Structure 1
Amino acid sequence: MDSLRKRLPAPRQDILAKESRSSPSITAAFEPSRISELARDSPPWYKVASRRRLYALLFPGAIVSYMTSGYDGSMMNSLQTVSYWDDFFGNPRGSTLGLVSAIIALGAMCSAPLAPWVADHYGRRWGITVGSCIMIAGAIIQCESTTFAMFVVSRFILGFGLTFCTTASPSLVSELSHPKERVAVTAICNTCWFLGAIVAAWLTYGTRVIPSTWSWRIPSLLQMLPSMIQLSAIWFLPESPRWLISHDRGEEAMAALKRYHGDGEETELVKLEYEEICAAIHMEKASGNTTWKSMVSTKGNRYRMFIVVCMGTFSQWSGNGLISYYLARILETIGINDSATKSLINGIINIWNFLIAISSALLVERIGRRPLFRISTIGMLVTFTSWTIASAVYAETAAHGAAMAVLVLIFLFQFFYCIAFSPLPVAYSVEILPYSVRAKGMATYVFTTKVAVFVNQYVNPIGLANIQWKYYIVYVVILAIESFIAYGWFVETKGRALEEIAVLFDGEEAEVITAAKSEVEIAQVEDLDRASLKKA
């Protein structure tokens, strides 16, 4: 404000000084911590009817998008223990088994350029709707498959639709959630991976005893369940206020903010949110930072994309892919061959994962991002190294104790993985991306994730079949690199509103925040000046 006064004629300085004394909210409106302070003082969501309705709609409408990925991983894991599936498709192993699992990632990669275009031009809700419809079609074809090729094509279609949902859903969740719960609610998105995995694991555990191909066709058909849930709820949600403002529909955006963030009233928090979103989007449009090229055109955006790519890669190349898709093969390497036992372990480990992930999601804002990433990567490195050693001992001695040690270490490894890389990759990626490139950035995250998944799923069964426990050494090296990067390069975003995180990447002179302050301050001064002239 002081720097602005110096640039104004004397009469305007007096008006601004007078207004600043009488209305501190003018200067407070764009203080980086103001929205966060107001959000912290807000009552918890369960005491506010409007926020209870919001989250009751957000969960089925958007958050369950990630159930499909978890369902798929767990289903494919379990189907490997179902003799009717194994025999029907010619006992796929090695690269053939890798192709069946990995093709869904290839489908997701192919739709990555289209998904942000739909989300940006037609809205987050249409992105979710398009993706859900495609996945329902894919699940029906998967259930009706009569050949191996048909089964593979159906899984490609499922993946193609998945990117639309996982690009639009976290953006809608983050942009609609109240600032007080934004981090926790967005973090819960990715933990739904395990919710889908639990459903698939126990469903397949029950259907495995059906003496026909329906033992695998039923789980295949029900993969469309999350998509059906989304279609039934998504159009009861409002569109993202940020998307509405960017398309000159400010009244609708204000109505949505008032209804869900102000409990029907235009509170100070609602006003500040609206003003900050308007200013940020206006300046992003004016700067032209809305293209694919703009994602790497500035130092701050390059740093953001580095982290987004790390999130997508680390979430899949930490050794967790072995457990998610090939647990049955891993258990065979330590002498557990009974299909019922393997299915039971798969069901239990997914419940364990979900409980750890959801607990961590609720504590993210209290603990912080960097501590969780550091504890997670170092913990995974230690436990995976121990797991590798125990596997080597079992391979040499066939000792029962070594086998049990591997099983325990798998659960410990999943604990360290789930405290950070279940809740945070999506939530962290969404919050560090400014609105102008948020959909494109999330599409990049999905694309990176699916590239990692594709390579992972295709290579893992080959590695396990050919060199068994020695293949784990690859992940020990990768985890050492992850620990180094997470310790030194991941930025803490704790305690900041969505539009305010730009300062951490672009510095105190962040284009959006600085320009937004100046524009709004000047506009307020001009309004005051016009009012004083009228009185004169």
Structure 2
Amino acid sequence: MGSWPLLPRIGRGNILPFQAPNRYPKTRFNNIVVLMACKVFTAACQGYDGSLMGGLNILPQYHEYFHLTNSLRSLNIAINYTGGSLACFCWTWVTDTYGRRVGLFWAAAITIVAAILQAASVHIAMFCFSRVLIGFGNVASVITGAAYLAETLPWEQRAWGLALFDDFFYVGALVAAAATLAACRLPSAWAWRLPALLQCVWGAVCIALLPWMPESPRWLIDQGRGREALVVLARINAPDGDVHDDLVRLQFRQIFQTIEYERNPMKYREMLANRGARKRLIITATCALFSMLAGNLIVMYYIGDVLDHAGIHDQELQLVMNLGLNATSLVTSIVGTFYVDKRGVKSATLVSTGGCAISLFALGVLSKFNDHTDTTSDDYAAVFCTFLFAACYAFGWVPVLFLLPAEMLYFRIRALGMSMFSLVVCVTGIWGNFAMPLALQHLGWRLWIMNGAWNLFFFAFVWWYWIEIRGKTLEEIDALFDGGKRSSAPDVAEVLAGRADANWKEKMSTWMSHRFGRSEGPASSQDGRAVSGHSH
């Protein structure tokens, strides 16, 4: 049995992180499977929450129990982002101080407690409080989880793993849509309580997997625990977990030298003054903003209103279409993940944004000529455009959303940058959940035309400003933004292609001996003590 991630004793300059798991999976493949399993359940929890609220907004039992007005309905969703905003101000410190596994544990625990409170709510204040906690836990898991996957997955599978992380958003969304559809015929409040209660399952599975998961090797090196970091790198990157593997040691040297260079964190003014850091933060912020304003906000949470506007008024049919919408999004997001892996994030984002613009323009035109009296072929054409929009959004924006910031941001600003990313998402979500339903009510088809128009602006900005980062280790990405790497080690791709210096292995051995002594450094011991010359 592995050790459980409880908070360590706090001491200024004397932080004692919890021990690494005592029992790892035996193969590289199984290590990656456990790592990804925990994270996909975390992502599914967020997807479940988004689709849950979209489904509940269709259920009359939910509306009647809380006597909801349009304002209260928007509040129940927007307050979730309020909780997420609170997490943005403190969870970076938790993640950087106590480690990625500790951050994941407490984020999941908070979500479990919140889901139970949500299902047990007896009045609107209790429900809103639970929504604040759920928002806090979900955003905390994003801040920690994206950084954790980016820092731990093998470099050649990092893009695929991070893209798949967000794809599983729709696995949770699909389960929530099915749960609300199955419970919709219950005559009591259990029609909404049961789907709300099931939300705690995702966090429970995540916690159950944590004892078998390693800590981020980059965080371990930063804490002066290089021996443990090398063991983790070997178990994740080498087929037999060999700490003497040349490519494992090459990556260890890259990470060590880069983090040593980045030892002192940047202040906010320095981030804005530094060209590379500033560009990273601008791309991160625009990724968050554009993804929220592409049109998905209203389609996800107010799918009932969207279908009403399209001429589909039957509530059970709306729930069935909500289920189909999430199934379509899941399939296209997985297809998009393959595309991202082959063509990169910038190309996928451009295809996705262009498709969203076209489908919204078509939806706006069809909605203009819809008389909303009887269900006609025009109504189903509008529904098709809604499905087309969801598919286009899921194809690019879903795989890219957490992949791009987590890869771009270097170690010292990764958790902080993900907090900023989440804050932009939350602030946009708060005002968007009040503004978009009112805009749909008063502007009607014009909203879709306007939304399509600003998607064209997003397309132009991404094409002009974003940078492609496909096929690089995290340390090698620095060269794209800063003009050079922080490490003197050759690129992994150069080594695999045979273009590296012929003496790179000898130079590696010399560096390890110089840095760690004749015992060949971390490979000779796995007792978790601080690396020589690099302890706090």
**So what's the TM-score if we normalise by structure 1?**
0.84
Deviation at residue 292 of structure 1 after TM alignment: 4.4
- Identify the match of residue 248 of structure 2 among 260, 270, 273: 270
**Range moving further from structure 2, 137-146 or 62-71:** 62-71
**Range moving further from structure 2, 457-466 or 352-361:** 457-466
Deviation at residue 305 of structure 1 after TM alignment: 0.5
Alignment of 1:283 with 2:261, yes or no, is: yes
Deviation at residue 313 of structure 1 after TM alignment: 0.8
Cα distance in 2 for residues equivalent to 1:323 and 1:267 = 49
- Identify the match of residue 50 of structure 2 among 69, 73, 78: 73
Residues 203-241 of structure 1: CA deviation (Å, up to 9, x unaligned): 110011111101100111111121111111112101000
Deviation at residue 260 of structure 1 after TM alignment: 2.0
What secondary structure, in the 3-state scheme, does the structure 2 residue paired with 1:111 have?
A: helix
Say if 1:51 and 1:92 are closer, same or farther in 2 by CA, change over 3 A: farther
Deviation at residue 59 of structure 1 after TM alignment: 2.8
Identity of aligned residues (%): 27
> What is aligned with 2:271?
295
Q: Is the 8 Å Cα contact of residues 116 and 440 (structure 1) preserved in structure 2?
A: yes
- Identify the match of residue 83 of structure 1 among 60, 64, 75: 60
> What is aligned with 1:57?
34
Cα distance in 1 for residues equivalent to 2:385 and 2:290 = 20
Q: Is the 8 Å Cα contact of residues 184 and 363 (structure 1) preserved in structure 2?
A: no
Q: Which runs of 5+ in 2 are unaligned?
A: 1-24, 492-505, 518-536
Say if 1:59 and 1:515 are closer, same or farther in 2 by CA, change over 3 A: closer
> What is aligned with 1:418?
394
**Range moving further from structure 2, 395-404 or 333-342:** 395-404
Cα distance in 2 for residues equivalent to 1:412 and 1:357 = 13
- Identify the match of residue 339 of structure 1 among 295, 315, 321: 315
Alignment of 1:489 with 2:465, yes or no, is: yes
Q: Which runs of 5+ in 1 are unaligned?
A: 1-47, 532-536
What secondary structure, in the 3-state scheme, does the structure 1 residue paired with 2:311 have?
A: coil
> What is aligned with 2:444?
468
> What is aligned with 2:474?
498
Deviation at residue 399 of structure 1 after TM alignment: 7.4
Runs of 4+ in 1 over 3 A off after TM superposition: 289-295, 395-399, 513-517, 520-528
Q: Is the 8 Å Cα contact of residues 310 and 372 (structure 2) preserved in structure 1?
A: no
Cα distance in 2 for residues equivalent to 1:56 and 1:516 = 29
Deviation at residue 397 of structure 1 after TM alignment: 8.7
Alignment of 1:148 with 2:124, yes or no, is: yes
Cα distance in 1 for residues equivalent to 2:108 and 2:511 = 48
Cα distance in 1 for residues equivalent to 2:115 and 2:371 = 39
What secondary structure, in the 3-state scheme, does the structure 2 residue paired with 1:86 have?
A: helix
Aligned residues: 475
Cα distance in 2 for residues equivalent to 1:431 and 1:149 = 39
Q: Is the 8 Å Cα contact of residues 31 and 235 (structure 2) preserved in structure 1?
A: no
Cα distance in 2 for residues equivalent to 1:335 and 1:397 = 7
> What is aligned with 1:221?
197
What amino acid sits opposite 1:80 in the alignment?
Answer: N
Task: Please report the RMSD computed on the Cα atoms of aligned residues, expressed in angstroms.
Answer: 2.3
Alignment of 1:164 with 2:169, yes or no, is: no
Q: Is the 8 Å Cα contact of residues 309 and 372 (structure 2) preserved in structure 1?
A: no
**Range moving further from structure 2, 276-285 or 81-90:** 81-90
Deviation at residue 362 of structure 1 after TM alignment: 2.9
> What is aligned with 1:19?
none
Say if 1:524 and 1:76 are closer, same or farther in 2 by CA, change over 3 A: same
**So what's the TM-score if we normalise by structure 2?**
0.84
Cα distance in 2 for residues equivalent to 1:75 and 1:414 = 17
Residues 132-184 of structure 1: CA deviation (Å, up to 9, x unaligned): 11111111111111111111111011111222211111111121111221110
Deviation at residue 127 of structure 1 after TM alignment: 0.6
What secondary structure, in the 3-state scheme, does the structure 2 residue paired with 1:181 have?
A: helix
> What is aligned with 2:90?
114
